[in-house]
Amino acid sequence: MEETFFILKPDAVERGLVGEILQRAERRGFTISRLEVRKADRAILAAHYEDLADKPFFDGLADFMMSRPLVIGTFSGNDVIKSWRQMLGATNPADSAPGTIRGDFAMAPSGTVMPNIAHGSDSPESAQREIALWFGQA
Please tell me whether 68 is known to bind a ligand. Answer: no
Please tell me whether 57 is known to bind a ligand. Answer: yes
Residue at 134: amino acid letter: W
Please tell me whether 24 is known to bind a ligand. Answer: no
Cα 24 to Cα 26: distance, rounded to the nearest angstrom = 5
Please tell me whether 92 is known to bind a ligand. Answer: no
Residue at 89: amino acid letter: G
Containing H/E element for 31?
Answer: strand 31-38
**Active-site residues: which are they?**
119
Contact assessment for residue 69 and residue 13, using Cβ atoms and an 8 Å cutoff: yes
Please tell me whether 74 is known to bind a ligand. Answer: no
Residue at 1: amino acid letter: M
> Annotated binding site, which residues?
9, 57, 85, 91, 102, 116
Provide the annotated binding site for ATP. Answer: 9, 57, 85, 91, 102, 116
